[in-house]
Amino acid sequence: MDILIFGAGSLGSLLGGLLSRTHEVTLVGREPHVGEVRRDGLRITGVETVDVHPAATTDGTEVSADLAVVTVKASDTEEAARTLATGDVDAVCSLQNGMGNEDVLAAHLDGTVLAGTATYGARLAGPGHVEWLGRGRLTVGPWRPEDDVETAERVVAAFRAADLDATVTTDARGRLWEKLAVNAAINPVTALARVENGALAPPGELADLATAAGVETAGVARADGASLSDATVRESIAEVVHETERNRSSMLQDVTDSRRTEIDAINGYVVDRAEELEESVPVNRTLATLIRGWEAGAGVE
């Protein structure tokens, strides 16, 4: 399968590198990372050590592929969609944080849109080098058309052929809410406390704070019509914290590097949706306010 990884950061590079062992993969990213991959290949270290040579470019326009895997930040989704629309892509699968990315992609692209989640732990250690910090799993389900399970199954088969742990879901919206609950718990708490994911393992005050944010999110999800229990969210948070204990969350990496975070698409989304549904989410509101306060003080854009 010809696969385009649109957003070759930490997760995109890891997945693209692993997929390139079996498929034709092109990474779309930024310099100097892309240049290093073109010259000397991509080195993966950590859980496994892998040296691969996927194609890499900074220009994602007019590209043809069987599948585009989108791993850019939520704030960059529309630009990614417009760029992909200049080419010929049969299907696109979002593995991004936050909610709403799939609708943005569907608004600009004609092909099948899939919704996915990923719990693989990764960190971009430097140009041409990604650290694999924790085994995880991928779930993929149809978004548009809602009944296109066949395409989801074909994508999952391609992932499995590259030894990735992947499954098909027929409840993509529910899985996205579950992923949002986990991200709402782990991302802001690790970013504010400046700790790796493992520091949120129970028992402890950080674990309690993260769990409270996740449980609040589950309540909003149920009010929105999703079937997501508090127990499921607690288990998911604990599982991801354990599997990615050495991982530095994407929001912690953003704060460390003085970059804009995805707070608006994670805890900010929970707060906004809670207001619409008349739900109370004080923990999510506080975490969103603190991260936005840091962004304002740091002058990030």
- CB 213 within 8 Å of CB 267: yes
Catalytic (active site) residue 179: yes
- CB 228 within 8 Å of CB 270: no
| 43: β partners | 51, 129
DSSP state of 99: S
| 126: β partners | 129
CA distances from 232 to 179, 190, 265 (A): 11, 21, 22
In degrees, rounded to 5, the angle at the alpha carbon of residue 186 between the alpha carbons of residues 183 and 190 is 135
Catalytic position from the list 179, 248, 273, 285: 179
CA count, 13 A, side-chain hemisphere, 215: 13
| Overall size of the chain counted in residues | 301
Hey, is 187 helix, strand or coil? Answer: helix
Separation of CA 125 from chain center: 18
Tokens linked to 181: 């609950």
User: Could you please report the per-residue DSSP string of 94-150?
Assistant: E--SSSSHHHHHHHH--SEEEEEEE--EEEEEETTEEEEEE---EEEEEEESTT-HH
DSSP state of 290: H
Q: What is the side-by-side strand order in the sheet with 166-168?
A: 55-57, 24-28, 2-6, 64-70, 88-94, 112-118, 138-144, 166-168
Catalytically annotated residues: 179
